[in-house]
A and B are shown apart, each in its own frame.
Chain A
Amino acid sequence: DAGVTQSPTHLIKTRGQQVTLRCSPKSGHDTVSWYQQALGQGPQFIFQYYEEEERQRGNFPDRFSGHQFPNYSSELNVNALLLGDSALYLCASSSILTGGAAEAFFGQGTRLTVV
């Protein structure tokens, strides 16, 4: 049983560009949350998708957007990249039926570097 998979694992982009990160949730999970983890900090909640809709959102600007597909996989898009967007982006999946955020499973993350 594959866990949460994220692609790509590493990415280098130039300031002002746009980036798309992808996440496939663990089998049986229907909810995907995205987090940004800056160096030396804990993960910060960006948003959560369930039933192809954004269900919750953290304090991130509109440059951060997402999408969930019918197969529950998800994308995180960031427009007009800033140097400060350099971070590890984590995807977590969970099941609404078994408690949502509790016991979420994380992917290994995508390391985004903006130069």
Chain B
Amino acid sequence: DQQVKQNSPSLSVQEGRISILNCDYTNSMFDYFLWYKKYPAEGPTFLISISSIKDKNEDGRFTVFLNKSAKHLSLHIVPSQPGDSAVYFCAAYSSLVETSYDKVIFGPGTSLSVIP
């Protein structure tokens, strides 16, 4: 039972264009969402997060949008750069349920390739 889904295993985008990575979740108790980026042979690196009280969070070229009613979030990268080529993981957890606090659930990842 996958609670966090990333239905696109891979995505190719031209340099300078927008990259949109999508994520869906099933657990309505999730109230905190994170995106991580992972290069080969390295651990995931935290990118950006959003709490359920917001619907948008922006950090430089990266913006995360949250649609709670649809249980959907997306990461927008504008403009995309070749250095953005990596695997992107969507993750979520619930701070509301004591037995789940900090138990971060990751999606399977989307491999982004930015073509120069």
Known contacts A45-B103, A48-B103; A106/B43 CB under 8 A:
yes
A42 touching B108, Cβ below 8 Å: yes
**Nearest B-chain residue to A31, judged by Cβ:** B102
Q: Of A14-22, A76-84, A95-103, which stretch is located at the interface? A: A95-103
Within the complex, which residue of B41, B45, B49 is in contact with A106, where a contact is CB–CB below 8 Å? B45
Q: What count of chain B residues pass the 8 Å CB interface test? A: 26
**Nearest B-chain residue to A108, judged by Cβ:** B43
A-B contact count (CB 8 A): 65
**Nearest A-chain residue to B34, judged by Cβ:** A102
**Nearest B-chain residue to A56, judged by Cβ:** B103
Q: How far is the CB of A19 from chain B (nearest CB, A)?
A: 19
Residues of B at under 8 Å CB distance from A?
A: 4, 6, 32, 34, 36, 41-46, 49, 89, 91, 93, 99-109
Residues of A at under 8 Å CB distance from B?
A: 4, 31, 33, 35, 40-45, 48, 55-56, 58, 90, 92, 94, 100-109
